[in-house]
């Protein structure tokens, strides 16, 4: 009788242990963060949108910030990313073409603007006058960052003034902002969203006309991986919602119809 009780006690302990393991696994699954790779210019906006989504759904989101080019390279090399928010359309489309991205998930979610930011200026001159007066200028690397490419297109409009300038290229628009803020360069080209997020006085920056460069259309795509997060599509849809568009308009982005 005693041996029977011992056997049943052992089986009960094993069952409790298994149930505990199942519960722990389920809890971990619910807490698994949605990993979103975000172009540096969109970091501030992504933080606000992610917080809003998490508050409503309970799904935690981890943002990986970097230049569009480097994030794209990491995804193609197998980085564990669920959703890619780029600063261009080329890389998300390339991911779809290479089967790294889910075709039906591709969409343009916003359009960016660039500004000439000169922290020490009482009234920022037009780009031509600025480039004539300084010996250095900062912009993001055009090969990695679409905002840098747009800045280089603006500078190309003034070849005489740009010739001979020391060009300080940041790895992404975030590092370019830091370089200018530190005083390492007198000024340069950053995203409108960045100066608005930092509440920088309007007298210290000048918005660049959109016709001076190719449109900075920013696209997203759900990454096609074996462990795709179940909330990836939901967050993608939220980013394309009317509520998100209103938020983005206030943060310095051009929304559809805006």
Asked if 32-111+216-250 and 114-207 have one fold, the answer is: yes
Burial of 139 (0-12, 13-18, 19+ CB in 10 A): buried
Cα distance between residue 122 and residue 110, in whole Å: 31
* Rounded-to-integer distance, Cα 158 and Cα 166, Å: 15
What is residue 30's predicted lDDT score, i.e. its pLDDT? 55
- The arrangement of secondary structure in 114-207, i.e. its CATH architecture, is 3-Layer(aba) Sandwich (3.40)
* Contact partners, residue 120, CB within 8 Å, separation at least 6: 186, 187
Q: Where are the domains of the chain?
A: 32-111+216-250, 114-207
pLDDT of amino acid 256: 63
Q: Which residues contact 155 (CB under 8 A, 6 or more apart)?
A: 127, 131, 137, 139, 162
| Regions in the chain scoring below 50 on pLDDT | 4-6, 9-10, 12-29, 258
Q: What's residue 152's pLDDT?
A: 97
Domain 32-111+216-250 has CATH 3.30.43.10: no
């Amino acid at each position: 009788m005693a041996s029977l009780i011992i056997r049943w006690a052992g089986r009960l302990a094993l069952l409790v242990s298994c149930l505990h393991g199942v519960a722990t696994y389920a809890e971990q699954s619910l807490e698994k963060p949605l990993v979103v790779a975000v172009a540096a210019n969109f970091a501030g906006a992504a933080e606000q949108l992610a917080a809003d989504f998490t508050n409503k759904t309970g799904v935690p989101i981890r943002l990986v910030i970097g230049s569009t080019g480097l994030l794209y390279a990491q995804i193609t090399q197998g980085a564990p990313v669920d959703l890619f928010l780029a600063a261009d359309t080329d890389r998300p489309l390339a991911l779809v073409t290479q089967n790294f991205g889910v075709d039906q998930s591709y969409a343009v979610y916003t359009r960016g603007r660039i500004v000439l930011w000169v922290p020490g200026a009482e009234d920022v001159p037009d780009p031509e006058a600025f480039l004539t007066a300084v010996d250095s200028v900062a912009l993001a690397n055009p090969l990695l960052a679409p905002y840098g490419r747009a800045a280089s297109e603006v500078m190309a409009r003034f070849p005489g003034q740009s010739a001979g300038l020391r060009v300080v290229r940041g790895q992404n628009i975030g590092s370019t902002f830091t370089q200018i803020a530190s005083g390492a360069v007198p000024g340069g080209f950053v995203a409108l969203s960045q100066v608005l997020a930092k509440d920088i006085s309007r007298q210290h920056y000048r918005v660049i006309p959109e016709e001076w460069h190719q449109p900075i259309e920013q696209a997203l795509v759900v990454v096609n991986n074996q462990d795709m997060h179940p909330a990836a599509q939901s967050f993608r849809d939220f980013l394309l919602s009317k509520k998100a568009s209103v938020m983005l308009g206030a943060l310095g982005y051009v929304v559809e119809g805006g």
